[in-house]
Structure 1
């Protein structure tokens, strides 16, 4: 394979990774929209809809699933989400193919490319289980985390490909405190998914108090976080009683506070690093905006637009945190600007 062919394939991989990053964000938001309009069971089967690849007419739907009446709008929302997810899988498949063709090139992110494809396949399985297990909260929450994982992998692959294209073959890892904050953010996203999947978004009214109490008396943590609960007949609109939902919602609020302390700590520790400073500032501003959206969502009783923006804010927070980590680790390397041709020639000398 000539150097020109290598450069061409790397450019294609870089473009696909950038496109996949933006496309994943769209898929995540469409998934959230599907959830918020109660279209998660718009099609009672998977991967088709009432046994068809497109939404069928009412007569065929009735014959296929007599106990699941067809709602055309919800069915199309669900299928639209599936079509987008399938297309995203195709992007990952092409990236894996390019990685395989460049597997002998030192520094190319081959393992990351294949891990991304595996993650999307697992995500597809969770999409199927979301339907077959009737919106079981455990699966719905893991499906959300899977979407964020794919988003993060696309981002990291894009950055790795950019580094590879300029000859940066030995990047460093971000510092330990950054990893701690990434864990905190992951936990907070999981709490947000658990809140949504158990329909606990309005379990606490008012802010900063919850149901006019600083520490609500009616909270059932054991039931609210009983993650080994059996699969129920249908979790649409939730199965938990009010105290359990209040416990979930209030824990999500406490998690936001802990995450905020982590964001502040990261800023105070690394604010003097020139390359990372703008991203650290953006991290604080995005966190503040996300908290504001959460408060507004509660006060205005969970409007669809704000709920979607809250999901988008979480995704943006993840991307800015990842970029911060890149600048704290990979971006701090003093790497000379070299071309792939120069790298290739150096390997033969």
Structure 2
């Protein structure tokens, strides 16, 4: 019985790792879909002009005479849907494979169920993205939903690895203010990034560090962050005026600055913790790289490959912080260097 449990756990470890990597691929394909303006390549959902494969122009015209078929954009959108569906099947497989283990105390069954709920909601937001014509609120929530799926899969993978090879450890730590503030800053910045993208404000500011040659450019914050506007007929290329988009870009830059401060403070706070300092140093390094990519996107006028790298950087930064948090949460308190006094037990840790 124990051997069967361990085999099933090992398969789940592999499957959740594959799922984590595949989620990142799905998110990057989704970003590519948006960057090539293919988000409405198919005007309906779940099919494309009523078909599961992109039809020819005659059939498309019969189904949606008001929306001309653009084959490239339609195929880009459908490829995104196909691989997103495959990701859903991977997650269903994770839940099905874990079903016989659901009553075991050392199996994170509730985390698996949470993952299933989130992927179902993510599918619904994918449909709303099309049916509500790229409404910025839905597009941003769709991005955050994708990140939620990614991080839940990664966390489940780490939990399963712990179940396969349990190590002596103290009780998992609760989130404290240091980690809570860093996590909140990251979530807000990721949401701002989605808001920039969904409102096509990526190059609203020319130049860096100034915006359009000014430290305080003309901005319309109330319009830029008006979250209750009605659903328009089509948000492709955005509806906001220049000052509103400038406000979004400037707030995103300020959010990046605050996030950097928060991550550096977090690293400084735990710089003597052997099990945490290296992951946090990697996180800070990823932040510096991500900030550089953001600047390059502005200076080079948002080339496709660079915008995709910026999305990949956001994914890596989120995964890196979760990994660092895991290392802190599930390792013993006395993990300082050999010559450092621990504030928890007031002895030198050997």
Partner of 1:46: 45
Structure 1 CA distance for aligned equivalents of residues 254 and 198 of structure 2: 18
Partner of 2:323: 323
Structure 2 gaps, min length 5: 335-350
Structure 1 position 174, deviation (Å): 4.5
Partner of 1:347: none
Calculate the TM-score normalised by the size of structure 1.
Answer: 0.93
Structure 1 CA distance for aligned equivalents of residues 251 and 318 of structure 2: 20
Partner of 2:348: none
Structure 1 position 332, deviation (Å): 3.4
Structure 1 CA distance for aligned equivalents of residues 91 and 200 of structure 2: 33
Structure 1 position 98, deviation (Å): 2.1
Partner of 1:226: 226
Is 1:304 equivalent to 2:304 in the alignment? yes
Structure 2 CA distance for aligned equivalents of residues 246 and 318 of structure 1: 26
Structure 2 CA distance for aligned equivalents of residues 250 and 177 of structure 1: 26
1:113-192 paired onto structure 2 within 5 Å: 113-167=112-166, 171-192=172-193
Calculate the TM-score normalised by the size of structure 2.
Answer: 0.93
Aligned with 1:331: secondary structure? coil
Structure 1 position 65, deviation (Å): 0.4
Q: 159-168 vs 171-180, which deviates more?
A: 171-180
Structure 2 CA distance for aligned equivalents of residues 42 and 303 of structure 1: 21
Structure 2 CA distance for aligned equivalents of residues 313 and 332 of structure 1: 30
Q: 4+ runs of 1 displaced by more than 4 Å?
A: none
Contact 1:17 1:158 in 2 (8 A): yes
Structure 1 position 120, deviation (Å): 0.5
Is 1:195 equivalent to 2:196 in the alignment? yes
Partner of 1:342: none
Aligned with 1:332: secondary structure? coil
Is 1:206 equivalent to 2:203 in the alignment? no
Structure 1 CA distance for aligned equivalents of residues 105 and 237 of structure 2: 51
Aligned with 2:274: secondary structure? coil
Structure 1 position 284, deviation (Å): 1.0
Structure 1 position 88, deviation (Å): 0.6
Larger relative contact order (CA 8 Å, sep ≥ 6):
1
Supply the RMSD in Å over aligned alpha carbons. Answer: 1.2
